[in-house]
Chain A
């Protein structure tokens, strides 16, 4: 594992957290019920908090004077390395909670490992806090998928569609590239095959409680980790980055 790979691994973690947090924050004020405005905002706040910690760590490791905002606001979509899953639009509430459930199941495994590893104690500290948050997120997202799947005929049909539509974005999380392999060998990141096994058990259990059927593993979309995103990310960044890029000399 080179220093550059180590840095890249931290940035990727931050990018997943920020992009998903940004997506969830779009819900604020528009949820199906007031309690969900509060709950989804809680999750968004946790994820943005994780991103801030990770970017700050990445910036200090890089040693070029970039802080959390430089990394969030002054990189292009080609430089963001989040998974495609987290940048997918919110869609309806069912789409949002399925996307969240798929991510939470993955993030829980990943962060549990990160909290235990001893290669990077700073990262372990950030991860230990994140694990507690992710447990709550998983509870929230999987409970909603169960409610919707086991709710009315309409909700069952709708959320089944969400599962089918988002399934093709799950495979990318388990496709190891050079960075993943090197970091796993060094003991910084978990082995993705193991993560996938745990993820599959967790998700299969959630879906079965929700009386939803699990799609066949077909072709899986990929490219996020290489900075080749869906069309959605560039719009998201344009919106998110507009002020710092319009007034590059300003502080806020």
Chain B
């Protein structure tokens, strides 16, 4: 590293340590840029892959009101994808490159979306737990050091609380409904509880990038801290619903002031990441297929825009 670069790096670090925002035109270390591109694009991909398990129930929503709410929710996720792709583009990648990485399996997305939504109660559980966990993860990002990412997250977080509420409402209605509905709600809870806890990532001892990201103010709390907060927040909500948390080891720990909970099946977690989850293939295939089937449409839009520009140019030279 040259003395100039060392100087830049020191200034950058001091700047970030003071909790100031880095903007696209500011100098930044290469590793910082790469980490952000990886994280933001992965986050954007999660938003759009996440549309699939919930989109799965739009046409079968059990009332017109629920249908409209779910449509609006899934539409929000598309919007989140847009904000985040735009934030990543400020770092010098294009949306096409990022989509290519997703479609070839090079880029990851949140593993939670590789689980199937097999009943309507799953839509409740996803909103309540998955969006709930996402909020835990995302609220601290509103203050992250990279300006465009932080600002995108402010917009995202505003909408996420509506997502969690609509999920909780579905669960509440079902948990207070007929015995069959209550059974569906409990079943969905059983299947989504553990994968939701896994959303916070490996335990701190096994989380390779955490230290550096904390130093850069991209990450502010450890995976285990956030997971604990989520458990502490969610258990009383489950009690309110009258549902049983599917963990025999769960109990309040008076000394710690937190809930103790059972061991997470990390073997399952790493297998889903590796591609062995129940829906990994379907999710990626659905994205690839939508992209390929849409290729002629995108090309047409480009061709038409070019023709229009040409016509405008011609008419303005004639006018002159």
- A residues whose Cβ falls under 8 Å from a Cβ of B: 18, 22, 25-26, 28-38, 41-42, 44-45, 48-49, 51-52, 55, 68-69, 72-73, 92-94, 146-148, 150-152, 154-155, 158, 239-240, 242-244, 247, 249-252
28 contacts between A and B (CB under 8 A): A29-B78, A30-B286, A31-B290, A31-B294, A32-B291, A32-B294, A33-B294, A33-B297, A34-B82, A35-B82, A37-B75, A38-B78, A41-B74, A42-B75, A48-B68, A48-B71, A52-B64, A147-B300, A150-B304, A151-B299, A151-B301, A155-B296, A155-B297, A239-B59, A240-B59, A252-B63, A252-B120, A252-B173
Q: Are B297 and A52 neighbours in the complex by a CB distance under 8 Å? A: no
**B278 contacts A by Cβ under 8 Å:** no
Which residue of B60, B289, B293 is within 8 Å of A243 (Cβ)? B60
B139 within 8 A of A: no
- Which residues in A have their C-beta under 8 angstroms from that of B291? 32
Given the contacts A22-B59, A32-B294, A239-B60, A45 and B71 also touching, CB distance less than 8 Å:
yes
- Once the chains bind, are A146 and B304 in contact (CB under 8 Å)? yes
Using A29-B290, A251-B177 as known contacts, say yes or no to A69 and B64 having CB atoms under 8 A apart. Answer: yes
Q: Would you call B298 an interface residue if the criterion is a C-beta within 8 Å of the partner chain's C-beta atoms? A: yes
Q: How far is the CA of A26 from the CA of B303 in the complex (A)?
A: 27
Docked complex Cα distance between A45 and B173 (Å):
23
* Residues in A neighbouring B290, C-beta threshold 8 A: 29-32
| Contact A250/B297 with A28-B71, A242-B60, A243-B60 known, Cβ cut-off 8 Å | no
Find the B residue at minimum CB distance from A45.
B71
B16-24, B47-55, B146-154, B240-248 - interface stretch: B47-55
Residues of chain A with a CB closer than 8 A to B25's CB: none
Nearest neighbor of B291 in chain A, beta-carbon distance: A32
Residues of A within 8 A of B294 (CB): 31-33, 36, 93
Contacts of A33 in B (CB 8 A): 294, 297-298
Query: Contact at A25–B78, with CB atoms within 8 Å?
Result: no
Closest Cβ–Cβ distance, residue B37 to chain A (whole Å): 18
Contact A34/B62 with A147-B301, A147-B304 known, Cβ cut-off 8 Å: no
Q: A42-B75, A247-B181 are in contact. List 13 more A-B contacts (CB 8 A).
A: A29-B48, A29-B52, A41-B78, A45-B68, A48-B71, A52-B64, A52-B65, A155-B299, A243-B61, A252-B62, A252-B66, A252-B170, A252-B174
Q: What chain B residues lie within 8 Å of A29 (beta carbons)?
A: 48, 51-52, 55, 74, 78, 286, 290
In the complex formed, the residue of A with least CB distance to B57 is A243
Pairwise interchain contact A152-B303, C-beta atoms closer than 8 A: yes
**Are A154 and B62 closer than 8 Å at their CB atoms?**
no
Given known pairs A51-B64, A252-B66, the reply for A25 and B297 (CB within 8 Å) is: no
A25-B59 contact given A155-B300, A252-B173, CB 8 Å threshold: yes
Residues of B within 8 A of A147 (CB): 300-301, 304-305
| Interface presence of B165 (CB below 8 A) | no
B178 CB–A CB distance under 8 Å = yes
A37 and B300 contact, Cβ closer than 8 Å, known pairs A28-B51, A30-B286, A45-B68? no
Residues of B within 8 A of A48 (CB): 64, 67-68, 71
Task: Give the chain A neighbours of B71 by CB distance below 8 A.
Answer: 25, 28, 41, 44-45, 48
Q: Does B58 contact A (CB under 8 A)?
A: yes
User: Which residue on A lies nearest to B47, using beta carbons?
Assistant: A34
CB proximity to A under 8 Å, residues B112-126? 120
| B residues near A244, Cβ cutoff 8 Å | 62-63
Q: A37-B75, A38-B75 are in contact. Are A243 and B62 (CB under 8 A)?
A: yes
Is B68 a contact partner of A49 (Cβ separation < 8 A)? yes
* CB pair A28 B55 closer than 8 Å: yes
A92 contacts B293, CB within 8 Å? yes
* CA A69 to CA B61, docked complex, whole Å: 11
Determine if A34 and B81 form an interchain contact, defined as CB atoms under 8 angstroms apart.
yes
Pairwise interchain contact B64-A72, C-beta atoms closer than 8 A: yes
Q: Which residues of B contact A41 (CB under 8 A)?
A: 71-72, 74-75, 78
B286 cross-chain contacts in A, Cβ below 8 A: 29-30
How many angstroms between the C-alpha atoms of A32 and B293 in the bound complex? 7
Interface residues of B in 46-105 (CB under 8 A from A): 48, 51-52, 55, 58-68, 71-72, 74-75, 78-79, 81-82, 85
Question: Does A151 contact B304, Cβ atoms closer than 8 Å?
Answer: yes
Inter-chain contact B68/A152, CB cutoff 8 Å: no
> Which A residues touch B78, using CB under 8 A?
29, 34, 37-38, 41
- Is B178 within 8 A of A250, CB to CB? yes
* B52 surroundings in chain A (CB, below 8 A): 29
Determine the chain B residues whose CB is within 8 A of the CB of A73 once the complex forms: 62-63
Is the C-beta of B180 less than 8 angstroms from some C-beta in chain A?
yes
In the assembled complex, the Cα of A30 lies from the Cα of B71 at a distance in Å of 13
Do residues B75 and A93 form an inter-chain contact, with CB atoms below 8 A? no
Let me know if B296 and A154 touch, CB within 8 A: yes
Q: How far is the CA of A37 from the CA of B65 in the complex (A)?
A: 20
* Chain A residues, CB < 8 A from B289: 30
